[in-house]
Amino acid sequence: MTRKGRTRNRRGYIAAAVLLSSALSVAGCSFSESTEFVVPDDICGVSTRDVGLEAAFPAGTPFEEAHEVRENSEYCHYRVDGTLTFSLGARVAMYPDLTTPPDEWADPAGPYADPVAVPGEHAVAVWPGLAMAEGECEFRGEPYPLEVQIITEYPQDPAESIEFLSGIVHPVVDALEQRCTARSREQGAS
């Protein structure tokens, strides 16, 4: 690849990262607490009911919600009594890694278990309580890797958790891809 090609490619990644951060409606990290439990209508732009995320929330429990936005990422976290119960996020990543769970999820006592592969349109790795996938975000007609992460405490049974995550991961990635690409086109039109 020529030097000019590398510069253009690097600018594209930077542009995609800027797009993702500018497309988000909330900057920084914001917190809110719900005194009556109501499953959110959408989580990071993903329709809760359309995708089937309701099972990830414990019934009748108040939760704290945090929306974290960085230059190239967006994460939505839900905590009950200070414990993370659900997290959904996406980031533009030059080299997505679906083999290593994030440090905050990993068991400090031992090595990572092998993930379960989920057939479908996207590369996906699922562990009990965690799904990671690779999607694409189109920016100025060019595809960029979009790394998606879903962390959940519920369902708590490992087999049920894998089944739940395997069922929602592809629709979640599809929704995040559509959101990212639509925002990209909106930004390009303005």
Residue 24 CA to its chain's centroid (Å): 14
Higher-pLDDT residue of 126 and 106 is: 126
Q: Per residue in 44-58, pLDDT tens?
A: 888 888 888 888 887
Cα–Cα distance for residue pair 23/37, rounded to 1 Å = 28
Instruction: Report the pLDDT value the prediction gives residue 119, as an integer from 0 to 100.
Output: 93
Total count of domains within the chain: 1
Structural domain range at position 180: 3-189
Whether cis (ω within 30° of 0) applies to the bond prior to 155 is: yes
pLDDT confidence bin for 68, thresholds 50/70/90: confident
Q: Per residue in 78-95, pLDDT tens?
A: 888 888 888 888 887 777
One DSSP character per residue, 88-135 reads EEEEE-SS---SS--TTTS-TTSPPPPPEE--SSSEEEEETTEEEEEE
| Tokens (6 digits) for 39 | 């499953």
Give this prediction's pTM: 0.73
Mean pLDDT of the chain: 75
